[in-house]
Structure 1
Amino acid sequence: MAAQRINQIRYPVVDTSEIMETGTDENKVYVAVGKIMKESKSTLLWALHNSGGRQICILHVHQPAEKIPIMGTKFQIDQLEVHQVDAYHEKERQEMHQLLDKYKQTCQQTGVCAEVHYIEMDSVEKGIVEFILQHNVRRLVMGGAADKHYSKKMVQLRSKKAISVRLLAAPSCQIQFICKGNIIFTRPGRLDGTGVSISSPSLLQNANSDSGQSSLRSRSVSEGKDTISQLISPTQDYRRVMSDSRGSRISPTYSSELTPATRFSSGRAYDEWSGLSQRSPSTGSRLSTSSSEMVDDSGVIPYTINEAHLEYSSAPIFDGDLQNPSPPSVLPERGMNEELYDQLMHAMTEADNSKRDAFEESIKRRKAEKDAIEAKRRVRASENLYSEELRRRQEIVEALEKIKEEHESTKRELNGVSEELCMALEQKSVLESQIVDSNHTVQDLERKLFSAVGLLQNYKKERDELQVECDDALRLLEEMREKQVEEASCSSASQFYTEFSFSEVKEATRNFDPSLKIGEGGYGSIFRGFIRHTEVAIKMLHAQSLQGPTEFLQEVNVLSRLRHPNLVTLIGACPDAWIIIYEYLSGGSLEDRLSCKDNTPPLSWQIRIRVAAELCSVLIFLHSCGIVHGDLKPGNLLLDKNLVTKLSDFGICRVLSQNEFSSNNTSLCCRTDPKGTFVYMDPEFLSTGELTSKSDTYSFGVILLRLLTGKPALGLTKDVQRALNEENLKDILDPTAGDWPFVQAQQLALLAMNCCDVVRKNRPDLASEAWRVLEPMRVSCGLSSFGFGSERQCQIPHYFICPIFQEMMQDPVVAADGFTYEAEALRGWLDSGHNTSPMTNLELANSNLVPNHALRSAIQEWLQQP
């Protein structure tokens, strides 16, 4: 057979560069979800289980609200301010992100990491269509109807959004519509193009390795109808017929064949190709203007189209449809002789018969191949069943071996238990004999125990009698020791104060004239008198006084040994009559001045701050000496003629251990019965009976609140705390004290509330924290009272006075409103949260403070004037 030369014809193929550039989402499945997670969750779960390993992308269309609810009414967005609309839309976006996070968590729970995309649009269907167009989405899953509309027979879309997306979405996008976790409709995607299809090469597949036969499936790609017509119309191959002296040769003007990618022998190639050419539409030919393919049961094997230049050494072979072998009418016209025409017809008839035989043979061959494949499949199934049966048999054998081992182990355990039972029976007999011996021993011991119990009772009775005698002796010893201590205290204390006789005291009070009585309480009475040409206050305790001999001696000992400018001075005492003699203080008590008793003028805020500082100073001194007063209240704070504070009444004070006390150690305490005034007493002292220096701190805080407000102590802490929380402290300040500086009043209120903390450990330390606040105020009050009572106070220029503190400025600064203030006052005003002018109540342009050097120089020159 003549040699054949075959060249592959490369037909035009669709240019996929554009598809590859825009088809980046080919391996992604987009799932459209809505605001109601219950409706969209089933759609998302369906996509997760049917994604085929593709990337899941969550798609949500956010619709900004057109109406915004305010106070129960919805307003159009064009009726509201821009910032209100932006704030509401931002809130909606935050809720949208939270919803998308929940969808993403649902994917993570199934082990899938999903991407999240969203687009803002006034219409959901428009948003989905726009997103598909922008991102060239190829696969989309979305809801087709509400879950309540689902039925097993549902095949149509019920959702208007789904219908719109199906009609308007890009044709290249495949859309699957889901309802209640079931797919109800699929809109397939396609690549748009005119007369263009895409083919890809493939390899031959062997259907039977033993026979070496191969089943083929070919797919050809063509463009236009001219090329295909050359393959199927045999009449066009007869247009040119040439002859010579050596014989006749028929050369087709153009021929093309469907050639497999592998080589066959010339004879077999002829049979195969003849069978393919002979196939008619009735036998399942798939040749069309766009593609042709041959299908068998073994799979799909594409073919390429080749252009063949074939030379034949024998009778010519014509490609074409041989069902109509009549030659065209042009041959007789060209003068072909009758003999040549008969030979041609004979050859065509033989070719037709050969092709028909080849076609029938190919059908038989494909049937045999199909049977071989089915047999091979059955063999493989039998092999799988055999393997499975073999595996089960092996498992049964292993299980039997395991049961056998367990049986042997149980048998060994049974033998061991039997041996142990025999040993236990032997031990039982031994123990029974020991029990009999033990019973005899117990009986002997019981008799001995009864006799020992009687002897023990006698010893116990004698011990009780001796204990009573010992207790009597110890009590007598304690009484004698107390008497010695009292005598020693009296003798030692008498060295630090003067002892007066009862007759001197009686003469000084004109026999305790009621007109000289200046005070009276549960402890006794206080008289005003003159003793040894000195005006004194005489405190005489009653027989039923709250202060007993111990408290009387303690107060005398404390006051006789301590000296401080703010402690009342002890003049002397009369131990026989329980009388204590103090210096006379004409200013009365702080309680009297706060209540304006006998029409006394109220104390100014400067004096009240000074009283607080002096009280803090004397408490720091007492605590450093290990003394807790225990009964701080305004009634025990006396004022002299210069309104200097003096602390008195040390009857129930407690002295802590001197060798253990430290000013920094607040854990030292003295256990005693609660005494004092209830509203000023430490709550922890009332509950535990432990008196510490922090107990005085609590009472000090209540006194500070009374100095600020002038109100009674009962319930005062709650009122001040409420005023601080509502930022109306000025409404609760005592107006009779003058115009309180806001900054200083606020600092005092905060300090007082910290001192009144119910938890003892949270209260501030007086020396390190409270004094740091009160000392600058005391100095400031001293400056503000400069020239107090003199004519010069009235001559201070008004522009030297701070509008906030109402006192002469030391560091004047100019604010943004153009007014001059004390720097400390204005900083306190700004730090308290104000951004308006203290003078005009208008908002300040800025918080910059410019020093007023000229005014400061003028103040200094004025102060230096004689």
Structure 2
Amino acid sequence: MAVVSSIPMMGESIGSMRFHGIDSPGSRSSRTEIMEEPVSRLIEEKVYVALGKDVAKNKTTLVWALQNTGGKKICIIHVHQPAHMIPVMGTKFLASSVDEEGVRVYRKMEREKVHMILDEYLRICQQRGVRAEKMYIEMDSVEKGIVRLISQHRIRKFVMGAASDRYHSRKMRDLRSRKAMFVQREAPATCHIWFTCKGSLICTREAAIDDTDSEYASPHASISGNNQVQTLSTPESDCPSNISRVQSNDSVQDLAHDGSLIGQSRRPSSDRSSDTDKGDRAFRAGPSGSDAHLRQFGRSESAPGLILVEENSDHSSPRSFPNENLDDAFYDQIRQAMAEAHNSKQEIFREVSRRHKAEEIALDAIRKAKQSENVYSEELKRRKETEIALAKEKEELEKLKREREEIMEELRSALEQRTVLENRIAESDRTSEELLQKIVSAVGLLQSFRKERDELQTERDRALREAEELRKIHIQTPDLRLSQFFTDFSFSEIENATNHFDPTLKIGEGGYGSIYIGILRHTQVAIKLLNPNSSQGPIEYQQEVDVLSKMRHPNIITLIGACPEALSLVYEFLPNGSLEDRLNCKDNSPPLSWQTRLRIATEICAALIFLHSNKSHGIIHGDLKPANILLDANLVSKICDFGTCSLLRGNGRTSSSTDFKGTYAYLDPETSSSEELTPRSDVYSFGIILLRLLTGRPALRITNEVKYALESGTLNNLLDPLAGDWPFFQAEQLARLALRCCETVGENRPNLKTEVWRILEPMRASIGLSSFHFGPNHHHRRIAPLYFICPVFLEVMQDPHVAADGFTYEAEAIRAWLDSGHDTSPMTNVKLSHTSLIPNHALRSAVQEWLQHHR
């Protein structure tokens, strides 16, 4: 029995059509699917390049993008920053203060300039044969504008500069531009960014994977069948592109014109059972009952595209079945069926060809639809942006209208004020005329005053000459001069002055004895009554008399007289007590300000220099401490208690008539071991007193606390808050000076006259305190005004400059301070807002005039 495979009817849909091929043992079936190319590959992606106004400097970035990104289309983007100052009549004004027409004209000029710059970039691209377009946005922040453009346009490839060309180096690997760092940090992760500098790639920020960019399968329908058709053969004239030859292990020969077999095909009997399908047409061979059958249609001239194959291997005849067993009618039916099958297959191939064309048209339509969707979304986005911009412009217009009304109101008030000012000007003119008359009279008075000044200067010179002569006389007769300062008092006078030593008049008491306040010869005095039971009482008495009766200094207590009968010493009365009491605010006394403390330190230094440089023999106090420093009514300090002092002989050694004494916290470590006083012993005690004036803390272990504060930068926390706000530079300078005075080795301590005084005296002058007439040099000094003194150098400024803290410094001093790494104020220790310096020309002129006048 022969079987012909079923042929689909013309009414069936092409998508469900099945094609059957030769099912030979060696044939392979395959399933073919037509996939659509992803639309994203069809749309050419642009490379965006951010460029600035300077074409010469930004050209290297554009050239790098043209040569290295592989983009066939470049988009130049630019962020324009509208100017805040509008030039009008040779002067620039704020845009808000210029009329709308002027701002609009200037903005138009700005935009035209931007377009000219962008056109220049486009010409560069055109010269290199690359398509390019331009895009720009107006924003105050360039980096924010770039990020906004990347987000709005969903930019995937972006190139921008990493830094200015002057920062480029071969070792450059990081971004040097604040804008580039901001874009790298804030730009969408889906954007791939190249950062370049001077035509070299500095770094790249890779884009993150985005699911929206994945490729989708083609919507083309696949052509398949249940029997897994391998190929379909058609005449070359019908569909040459789809023709392929049938592959089979059986030898197949061409059919004759009348349909008879020219060759034979042999197949194993095991393959024959699978040759029949449901719904196939069956054709019997004849009355002989032969099992020969037609398995498939093959290629022949009468039925193109089909091949006849016979499975009966026993026939020796060249025909597929015997003519004597088949009548002509039945044979005609076979030929008719074969012709119909051939026509059906040709129709099917035509339908397949039409379907391919329809699929190509559908694919083009899908591509165009995708492009249209993108264009529509972009247009929709631009429309929304335009609406938002229009709404903002409306708001700004309303705001400008309100501002205009406010300006008109201010103009009306300004006109009113103008009228008032004109009236005041008229009054000022009248007043100026009156002042002019007064000036004329004042000039006359000034001339008379100058004449009187000249006369006074002449008298002063005469007085100075007389004083110099008297000084020489006093030097020649020192005993006569000193005897004028000392008086002997009787015991009865001492007793009456103290009301018989009334306990209510006692103001102090210690190992040395008691101190009473009294009235002696109509003068309020302090009477020190030494302890007669002490073995050192008479010695200390005589020591103070010998020392204090022979010298006078404003900062050493004045010995008015003595009573040898009662071992009593009479001093000037100092109402403010000791420095120790004032540092501790005893009896709720007000604290000492930092200016007063600085003055007291200078006074103590001057007194010590005076003592150590005494011409006949130097004097070493030996027990210098705040309790032995008294303050008068004006808080002027005076050193007292010279009973334990030592005299410095010509051989450099000391001699003392008393046993060595001293207070531990203020005692020189070298003196403790050698029990011999030196001038450096007083320097050590003076250093401890300086630290106490700065901090207000107890003397014990104070040096260690100040050292730690200086090393850790916490000196401000250690300063005494009761003294007010110390100038940080002066406080730090005093602290370091005090620590030098407190060195354990005496040779490392500074000299009071050559080192310490040169630091303290300018500090005193810088706070407006008058120069001390009994300073170490004993000569008159001209003190410059406070604002002429540099707070750092403490000298008259030659080139004054104003810093960010508002203080004026010598240019050399403040530059050295800033160059050493400081970013704080030398006066307040507060961080400076900037490091710019402004020359103070007015102060410089005043200083030069003052120097010429006093030169």
Which band: TM-score by shorter chain?
Answer: 0.3 to 0.5
Higher relative contact order (CA closer than 8 Å, sequence separation 6+): 2
